[in-house]
């Protein structure tokens, strides 16, 4: 029973730490020109063109919501729509050069935020976080 209490306590601590860090990184991604949700779509499109349905499924949102998000990104010149090569009923969204630049710049800001905080840690703390990052990646794998 004691081991279960320790696991539950660790779960709460990890959840809170991950949520706070994630929230802070989202703040670093948000600018006057792009929201955190729009950034997520840009990041998905960074791997290549996707249909709006694929984007909606990946983000667990309804198609009309994703259409609004893509419309906003398209109006900002960050995304283009292309005809689907094999299904005339669908369109693909892809990053423009400006969209790729926003994606790169935002990732750089996030990395810089983390790098500044990591620089304040001891070598041992950084080693521990490196190990924790590997474990978290393993836990998050499907």
Task: Tell me the domain boundaries of the chain.
Answer: 2-140
Q: How far is CA 32 from the centre of its chain?
A: 18
Based on C-alpha coordinates, what's the Rg of the chain?
Answer: 19
Q: Measured between alpha carbons, how far apart are the two ends of the chain, in Å?
A: 28
| Exposed / middle / buried, residue 94 (Cβ in 10 Å: 0-12, 13-18, 19+) | middle
Q: What percentage of the chain has pLDDT greater than the value 90?
A: 64
For residue 59, the model assigns a pLDDT of: 94
Q: Which CATH architecture has domain 2-140?
A: Orthogonal Bundle (1.10)
How far are the Cα atoms of 21, 66, 112, 128 from residue 117, in angstroms, in the given order? 11, 34, 9, 14
Q: pTM, whole model, 2 decimals?
A: 0.78
Supply the mean pLDDT for the chain. Answer: 90
């Amino acid at each position: 029973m004691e081991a279960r209490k320790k696991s539950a306590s660790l779960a709460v601590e990890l959840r809170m730490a991950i949520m706070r860090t994630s929230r802070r990184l989202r703040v670093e991604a948000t600018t006057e020109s792009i929201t955190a949700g729009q950034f997520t779509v840009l990041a998905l499109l960074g791997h290549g063109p996707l249909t709006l349905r694929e984007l909606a499924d990946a983000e667990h949102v309804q198609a009309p919501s994703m259409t609004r998000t893509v419309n906003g990104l398209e109006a900002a010149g960050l995304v283009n729509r292309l005809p689907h090569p094999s299904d005339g009923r669908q369109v693909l969204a892809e990053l423009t050069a400006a969209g790729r630049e926003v994606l790169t710049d935002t990732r750089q800001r996030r990395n810089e935020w983390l790098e500044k905080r990591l620089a304040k840690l001891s070598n041992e703390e950084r080693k521990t976080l490196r190990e924790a990052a590997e474990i978290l990646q393993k836990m998050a794998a499907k």
